[in-house]
């Protein structure tokens, strides 16, 4: 599409990715401002449309208005398409149209595709892109098919549309829902005890958040875990840890008023959804401060590279943790599964951590000062935005213009990625090969 032609002007791959997301957001904003995009007609105000479009393309799920109550069927369709483009990636969708039209994909375009999906090499990128598209459509349709009987039972024929919408939203880790037809801004709370909806939504979130490269590894090597790439091993083990430990915490400390079966489902769901999905089956404001803090950390960590999820990514946290362990043991470098981690990867991980922490902290602090709201509540909102999650303690709709613009910026930065922004901004600078004299600095 248009993003590929921009490379003729010698834009870097990172700049093309940023401009691609920006262009889709603006186009989505225009569509949502059309009179027939709203239930009541008249067109949405620019800032409301921009916020919703950004939230959809950045697969966040923060909303100013209830999706089912405010947007018409056309508006909901636009949001769903924006979620699909944002989840798969703007460049991946552009590549899909290029392949369908029979156009030859140049080496520069393949390089852009590689950066967009975090592939390890350019070779085989077209096959991998085709795998991503096919896998996405098959899984989303399967998810919709399984949930359709429940939704059709509750909403009649409209249940088919709701099943598809929630399947795409869950797989793309977007968190948009249409439950406002029952109770505005209720997300999936009416299904807290419904096992089918809970399990399918959780599976879709996990599958989408693990990453396409990991699923390609699983398809190629089946159950032979030792043959997986080191990155896939790190993602799977870290994901399992981040699902199990928070679930145990939530079960032991939260939801005590629920029956045992509902408490188990709610605890599992609450450990899954902060990893950039944004659905909730319980009222987030009912969580204790400890539960909110754990959720906040999970939102910042997010999913895995090359997935539909945002956040710092599981590999970033794993690399930093392994580096700390190596330092404690006085080892020269971090390692996983008998393989050493390159020093540049550790530097990138530390940079990403600092960027996300700075965006999260200063964004939340600014909103708190502007709105006069509790700091923890605003930090929760900022973490949800920069982690592209969509969970909220109920303050989003009441925020002022500047606070909304801050959230829009955080959502964009969170979806595009920290390193993409850095490399895009510094693309014109030359690598400095000279070195300053070394001098020891004591830390800690």
**Structure confidence by residue, pLDDT tens digits, 142-162:** 999 999 999 999 999 999 999
What are 112-135's pLDDT values in tens digits?
A: 666 666 666 666 677 777 888 888
Position 342 pLDDT exceeds 80 = yes
Instruction: Identify the band that residue 6 occupies on the pLDDT scale cut at 50, 70 and 90.
Output: very low
In sign, the C-alpha dihedral spanning 308, 358, 20, 39 is positive
Say what the pLDDT of residue 113 is: 67
H/E segment holding residue 76 = helix 73-88
Segment 70-91 mean pLDDT: 90
Distance between CA atoms of residues 3 and 90, nearest Å? 8
Between 68-77, 90-99, 205-214, 402-411, the lowest mean confidence (pLDDT) is in 90-99
Distance between CA atoms of residues 368 and 366, nearest Å? 5
Position 4 pLDDT exceeds 80 = no
Say which residues have a Cβ less than 8 Å from residue 138's Cβ, sequence separation at least 6.
none
If one counts every other C-beta atom within 10 angstroms of the C-beta of residue 426, the result is 12
For the chain, how many residues are written? Answer: 444
As a 3-state breakdown, the chain gives helix, strand, coil percent values, each rounded to 5, of: 70, 0, 30
Does any domain span residue 291?
Answer: yes
Distance between CA atoms of residues 17 and 25, nearest Å? 12
Segment 307-312 mean pLDDT: 83
Residue with structure tokens 């098919």?
Answer: 145
Between 4-13, 98-107, 268-277, 382-391, the lowest mean confidence (pLDDT) is in 4-13
Say what the pLDDT of residue 3 is: 45
Does any domain span residue 144?
Answer: yes
Segment 56-80 mean pLDDT: 92
Does any domain span residue 427?
Answer: no
Does any domain span residue 428?
Answer: no
Segment 188-212 mean pLDDT: 91
Segment 267-291 mean pLDDT: 89
Domain total of the chain: 1
Distance between CA atoms of residues 329 and 327, nearest Å? 5
Q: CA-CA-CA-CA torsion for 29, 31, 36, 40, nearest 10 degrees?
A: -10
Distance between CA atoms of residues 410 and 383, nearest Å? 9
Does any domain span residue 40?
Answer: yes
Partners of 339 in the β-ladder: 336
Say what the pLDDT of residue 93 is: 76
Say what the pLDDT of residue 405 is: 96
Between 21-30, 209-218, 230-239, 244-253, the lowest mean confidence (pLDDT) is in 209-218
Does any domain span residue 250?
Answer: yes
Position 107 pLDDT exceeds 90 = no
Instruction: Identify the band that residue 219 occupies on the pLDDT scale cut at 50, 70 and 90.
Output: confident
Distance between CA atoms of residues 178 and 175, nearest Å? 10
Mean pLDDT of the chain: 86
Distance between CA atoms of residues 219 and 360, nearest Å? 36
Say what the pLDDT of residue 204 is: 94
Does any domain span residue 358?
Answer: yes
Query: 242 is in which domain, residue-wise?
Result: 2-421
Contact 160, 152 (CB under 8 A): yes
H/E segment holding residue 137 = helix 125-155
Distance between CA atoms of residues 84 and 93, nearest Å? 9
335-336 vs 339-340, strand pairing mode? antiparallel
Indicate the pTM of the whole model. Answer: 0.88
Quote the tokens at residue 439.
């001098």
Percent of the chain with pLDDT strictly greater than 90:
46
Position 305 pLDDT exceeds 90 = no
Does any domain span residue 301?
Answer: yes
If one counts every other C-beta atom within 10 angstroms of the C-beta of residue 92, the result is 19
3-state class (DSSP) for residue 154: helix
């Amino acid at each position: 599409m248009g993003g590929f032609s921009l490379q003729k002007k010698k834009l870097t791959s990172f700049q093309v990715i940023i401009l691609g997301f920006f262009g889709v957001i603006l186009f989505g904003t225009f569509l949502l401002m059309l009179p027939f995009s709203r239930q009541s007609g008249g067109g949405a105000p620019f800032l409301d449309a921009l916020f919703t479009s950004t939230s959809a393309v950045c697969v966040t799920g923060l909303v100013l208005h209830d999706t089912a109550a405010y947007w018409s069927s056309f508006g909901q369709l636009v949001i769903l398409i924006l979620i699909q483009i944002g989840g798969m990636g703007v460049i991946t969708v552009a590549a899909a149209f290029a392949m369908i039209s029979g156009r030859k994909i140049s080496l520069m375009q393949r390089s852009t595709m590689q950066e967009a999906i975090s592939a390890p090499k350019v070779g085989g990128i077209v096959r991998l892109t085709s795998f991503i598209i096919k896998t996405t459509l098959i899984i989303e349709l399967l998810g919709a098919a399984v949930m359709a009987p429940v939704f059709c039972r509750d909403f009649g024929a409209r249940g088919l549309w709701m099943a598809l919408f929630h399947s795409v939203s869950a797989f793309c880790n977007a968190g948009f829902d249409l439950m406002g037809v029952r109770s505005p801004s209720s997300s999936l709370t009416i299904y807290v005890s419904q096992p089918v909806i809970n399990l399918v939504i959780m599976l879709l979130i996990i599958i989408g958040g693990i990453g396409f490269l990991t699923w390609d590894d699983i398809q190629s090597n089946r159950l032979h875990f030792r043959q997986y790439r080191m990155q896939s091993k790190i993602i799977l083990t870290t994901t399992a840890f981040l699902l199990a430990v928070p679930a145990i915490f939530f079960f032991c400390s939260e939801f005590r008023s629920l029956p045992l079966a509902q408490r188990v489902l709610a605890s599992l769901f609450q450990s899954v959804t902060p990893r950039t999905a944004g659905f909730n089956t319980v009222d987030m404001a009912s969580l204790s401060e400890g539960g909110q803090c754990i959720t906040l950390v999970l939102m910042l960590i997010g999913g895995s590279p090359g997935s539909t999820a945002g956040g710092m990514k599981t590999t970033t946290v794993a690399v930093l943790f392994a580096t700390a362990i190596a330092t404690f043991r006085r080892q020269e470098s971090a390692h996983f599964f008998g393989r050493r981690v390159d020093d540049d990867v550790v530097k990138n991980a530390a940079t990403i951590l600092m960027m996300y922490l700075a965006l999260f902290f200063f964004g939340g602090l600014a909103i708190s000062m502007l709105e006069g709201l509790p700091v923890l509540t605003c930090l929760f909102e900022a973490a949800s935005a920069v982690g592209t999650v969509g969970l909220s303690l109920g303050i989003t709709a009441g925020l002022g213009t500047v606070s909304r613009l801050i959230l829009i910026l955080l959502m964009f930065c969170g979806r595009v990625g920290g390193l993409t922004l850095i490399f895009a901004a510094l693309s014109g600078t030359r690598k400095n090969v000279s070195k300053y004299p070394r001098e020891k600095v004591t830390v800690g």
